[in-house]
Amino acid sequence: MNDNQTNAEQLILQAARKIFIEKGMEGARMQEIADEAGINKALLHYYFRSKDKLFQAVFLEAFQKFLPQIEMLLKSELPFIQKLELFIKNYISIMIENPYIPGFVLHELTQNPQRLAELLKNHVVVMPEFLTQLQNEINNGVIKPVDPRQIMINSLALCIFPFVARPIIQTVFFGNDAETYNAFLEQRKTSVYNFIKSAIFIEKP
């Protein structure tokens, strides 16, 4: 019960995170994770029983990094426009700090969709309420009459896509210069918000 125990476990998790996110579940090798952590391969199985268990630990950690922020905003009592602004700015900020997680989560969830059901059992049940609030704004003539789900999905798309497609976009539009692209992503915090606002709010005459 020394603190090397926790130390090794954290070392493994850290290494596993890096390799899994880089190579995916199928592409990652236990030996590579062990090397990255600077320990013996058998130790991986001592702390986490199998590759699958280790992967699940990493995946869950990554997934949950984003969920609380979404829930907090969906549950809050703010007016819609403020929720929208907060959501976009927070969400993009988290992604700038964890740029490889969105693609990782998206791919692994596509590869193994039944996992999603498990993950969502305890979360995001508040979504309907949020969609209702949006529908109310439409009924009040504040927002243009569009399917609220289209608006919701458009917002997600505009936030997430630049991270999921980063290698392509960075190459095609930014001469593969990471710094320029980072600045571009930073700008999107306000750019995306303005874009959506212009798209859905009805201009007062």
Residues that bind DNA (CB under 7 A): 1-2, 4-5, 7-8, 28-31, 39-43, 45-46, 49-52
Asked if 171 is part of the footprint of its own copies (rule: CB under 8 A), the reply reads yes
Closest contact distance (angstroms) between CB of 119 and DNA is 21
Q: With respect to DNA, which residue has the nearer C-beta, 39 or 138? A: 39
Asked if 199 is part of the footprint of its own copies (rule: CB under 8 A), the reply reads yes
Closest contact distance (angstroms) between CB of 64 and DNA is 23
The identity of residue 94, as a single letter, is I
CA dist., res. 195 & res. 25, Å (int): 36
Closest contact distance (angstroms) between CB of 121 and DNA is 25
CA dist., res. 23 & res. 20, Å (int): 5
Burial of 34 (0-12, 13-18, 19+ CB in 10 A): buried
Residue 56 binds: one of DNA, its own copies, none (C-beta under 5 to 8 A by kind): none
Closest contact distance (angstroms) between CB of 42 and DNA is 3
Closest contact distance (angstroms) between CB of 26 and DNA is 8
Chain positions 91 to 120 lying near its own copies, rule: CB under 8 A, are 103, 106-107, 109-111, 113, 116-117, 120
- Cβ atoms within 10 A of the Cβ of 192, count? 22
Residue 160 binds: one of DNA, its own copies, none (C-beta under 5 to 8 A by kind): its own copies
Q: Which of 75, 172, 177, 186 binds its own copies (CB under 8 A)?
A: 172
Burial of 159 (0-12, 13-18, 19+ CB in 10 A): buried
Give the rounded distance of the alpha carbon of 78 from its chain centre.
Answer: 23
| Sign of CA pseudo-dihedral 95, 98, 104, 105 | negative
